[in-house]
Structure 1
């Protein structure tokens, strides 16, 4: 009888998850984590492997598109993994696409940019389906007592953050202090008082999105001055900001140069197997 091949070849996964029941992506002594769930499912499906993500997400953060590099036995077809892993994954984790990547691809090092989306409500509690995935601004203790936050004010403050700077006032010191480019920062209305902050950039430091959104809300509520906001952005001046809660944040998309992108434009627009439910529904492109 022929022995199974021990040769391993690269594969790439597009995974999604709701992060509320996990202690982040990366394996930890105290779980559960998304990495635990994926590697456990791979092992139980007979294809044990170590997964390498495009980047870590923190406890409670969700992902519509987390990209994973791994190496599989050459006799395991990646395209079979979504169906093969489904019975072994918890309900809050799934796969959209699995395939061989083009060329010398790495989920993290090949990435050219990411988009994050943060969901919140202004002037109304979140709709029931969105309650676990959106910040109720009016009820947030860190924003009391403050003025009512208007969409126009919040969007103007976020737009002021666009550009290349070190963002040192808006991330943990554990992340390298270096220039980072925030390419876009927009606010979209989803209806019923629900809004979506969309942030696109070449790279983000730890907690950068949550500090940017939370601190912009604090300025919009009149609890910090706009002068302090500008000084923090332009000169890295210390800011008594606010780290927005994790449950509103979604890693929405990871982008790659066209020469190595494993995913087509139609897949990116309509991901196969992605739940059509919060927090993965949002404003249309554009």
Structure 2
């Protein structure tokens, strides 16, 4: 007979991780994965639970803010878990905070997500950023046209994708086909030739951000006709897109409606304990 969960305490964990340390989020036989590492650490501190994440990131994708739902045993507390869990986590995986929500589910309560994709369009290579940003001039699949990718052109193309549409041409077919809203897609200069594409929306299918950024790069490089890009956006017509490498992508934020969000505005702006070195610099 399974133990009753009626008295167990639901909590929300904000975690971060560097994707290069894991083979994706979801538990799998070939591990290590974020889920395996986190559930193992929780079990070691007296919380034998299967976690429920806001979403699952693929191998190599980083997360500044991943949210998971967990239930604690009666008598335990969010503060106590926050004190004893961090030392049990492996390198590349950390805890920002533990909060007790009102009525909350990490995935189904979410109202949207924000991703950031880091890329280098010029300047000298930086060893600190190499594992966390796509070096566009050195990417073999973006060479051959002799046209450098300019930030102005890339931002123009990304901006054209904003809106509510069927993004079937830009995501894995295993994800449900349905209208999704891309609320914003902008490009920001970080200095030294490094840029950051910021995409925010109500939800993203598998590989959607990577295909949108990668295919926009391909058009900007003159390797994919802009007419095909527009047709893919407007009608879902298939294109020979480019899936940007995982190492440049970060799950930046998971959003929840007011009254449901377990995290304060201050915590979101300045996450306690979040590493400031790459890839989590603002």
Band of TM-score, shorter chain: over 0.9
**Runs of at least 4 residues of structure 1 off by over 3 A?**
none
Report the 3-state secondary structure (helix = DSSP H, G, I; strand = E; otherwise coil) of the residue aligned with 1:187.
Answer: strand
Deviation at 1:77, TM superposition (A): 1.0
What's 2:135 paired with?
Answer: 136
Distance in structure 1 (CA, Å) of the matches to 2:258 and 2:74: 25
Distance in structure 2 (CA, Å) of the matches to 1:265 and 1:201: 19
What's 2:49 paired with?
Answer: 49
Distance in structure 2 (CA, Å) of the matches to 1:216 and 1:90: 36
Deviation at 1:82, TM superposition (A): 2.9
What's 1:109 paired with?
Answer: 108
Distance in structure 2 (CA, Å) of the matches to 1:126 and 1:81: 41
Instruction: Count residues with an aligned counterpart.
Output: 277
What's 1:76 paired with?
Answer: 76
Q: CA RMSD, aligned part only?
A: 1.2
Deviation at 1:174, TM superposition (A): 0.1
- Paired residues for 1:200-211 under 5 Å: 200-211=200-211
* Uncovered stretches (5+) of structure 1, i.e. residues with no partner: none
Preserved contact between residue 122 and residue 192 of structure 2 (Cα < 8 Å): no
What's 1:27 paired with?
Answer: 27
Report the 3-state secondary structure (helix = DSSP H, G, I; strand = E; otherwise coil) of the residue aligned with 1:128.
Answer: coil
User: 39-48 or 109-118: which moved more?
Assistant: 39-48
What's 2:12 paired with?
Answer: 12
Residues 1:6 and 1:111: Cα distance change in structure 2 (over 3 Å)? closer
- Paired residues for 1:146-161 under 5 Å: 146=145, 147-161=147-161
Distance in structure 2 (CA, Å) of the matches to 1:80 and 1:220: 51
Deviation at 1:74, TM superposition (A): 2.0
What's 2:173 paired with?
Answer: 173
* Uncovered stretches (5+) of structure 2, i.e. residues with no partner: none
User: 239-248 or 78-87: which moved more?
Assistant: 78-87
Distance in structure 2 (CA, Å) of the matches to 1:170 and 1:6: 42
Summarize deviations over 1:96-119 as a string: whole Å, max 9, x none. Answer: 1102112x2000000000000000
Deviation at 1:6, TM superposition (A): 8.9
Deviation at 1:125, TM superposition (A): 4.6
What's 1:58 paired with?
Answer: 58
Q: Provide the TM-score with structure 1 as the length reference.
A: 0.95
Preserved contact between residue 126 and residue 134 of structure 1 (Cα < 8 Å): no
Deviation at 1:7, TM superposition (A): 3.5
Report the 3-state secondary structure (helix = DSSP H, G, I; strand = E; otherwise coil) of the residue aligned with 2:60.
Answer: coil
What's 2:144 paired with?
Answer: 145
Q: Provide the TM-score with structure 2 as the length reference.
A: 0.96
Distance in structure 1 (CA, Å) of the matches to 2:63 and 2:14: 10
